[in-house]
Copies of this chain bind each other. A is one copy, B any other.
Amino acid sequence: MAIDRRHPREIRADIRSGKITSVTAGLGEGHVQANLAVLPRDYAYDFLLFCQRNPRPCPLIEVTDVGSPEPTGVAPGADLRTDLPKYRIYKDGVLADEVTDASPYWRDDLVAFLLGCSFTFEWALLEAGIDLWHVKHGKNVAMWRTSTACRPAGVFHGPMVVSMRPIPSTQLSKAVTASARFPNAHGAPVHIGDPAAIGIKDVTKPEWGDAQPFRPGDVPVFWACGVTPQAVALASKPPFMLTHSPGHMFITDLPNATLAAF
């Protein structure tokens, strides 16, 4: 994975001009990356309330004013229509298009939601001396739907999705404290140990992403996952929804450490 240490502003300019089209892992190292979900104003209240009621899977770091593509709170001057490498357009809950410039799809009634992502707490785990197999090997984490229902809000409801990382039992405590500092990036684990307790039948067979190998003494540790809000939003089949393409995140100006709650 190539590391690009320039300021996010410069990286976003290269994305805007089409010079960078790749996934964003390793870009703007040390800065908060975010999931994007854009919905019409008619759906925005229910979605905002859903995030408020389910902060672990849906950690809101920014909501734009209606019609504005500028996330003034986390990246003043940025344009959410052009500054992500790739977008997906959904109509009535069905994937309708994948584009590198979302400008033609922008409308005056759209609200953009930016949600913290696992990159931030994974950075905290790595800093704390915890190895992450999928990072080292350039793979995806393993993800599952759980038997834990999110608290519904208006038209939005559905199960919580989690990601799983095998952690040595000697480092469990450190994994909790290191990630707990970042509630706006999913925070502490939602579950440690027995996968069946949250409705996961086979921890070697993820629903999404790659299976993770377990070393002797490794314990499965589950964090709330940013796939949740997108899955929940799409399940309600909004007439229009715009998101980032998987892995093609928005890079904010916030250093990861500024997201620390304590």
Which A residues are within 8 Å of any B CB, using their own CB? 44-45, 48-49, 52-53, 60, 63, 65, 73, 151, 153-154, 177, 180-181, 183, 261-262
Contact = CB atoms under 8 A, between A and B. Distances in A.
Nearest to A64: B49
A183 B260 CA distance: 12
A212 B45 CA distance: 41
A19 to B, nearest CB: 33
Given A45-B45, A181-B262, 13 more contacts: A48-B48, A48-B49, A48-B52, A52-B52, A52-B63, A53-B63, A65-B153, A65-B154, A73-B151, A183-B183, A261-B261, A261-B262, A262-B262
A160 B165 CA distance: 41
Contacts of A53: 63, 73
Nearest to A66: B154
Nearest to A180: B262
Contacts of A154: 65
Given A48-B52, A49-B48, A52-B48, A261 B151 contact: no
Contact of A60 (B52, B73, B261): B52
A153 B111 CA distance: 13
A143 to B, nearest CB: 25
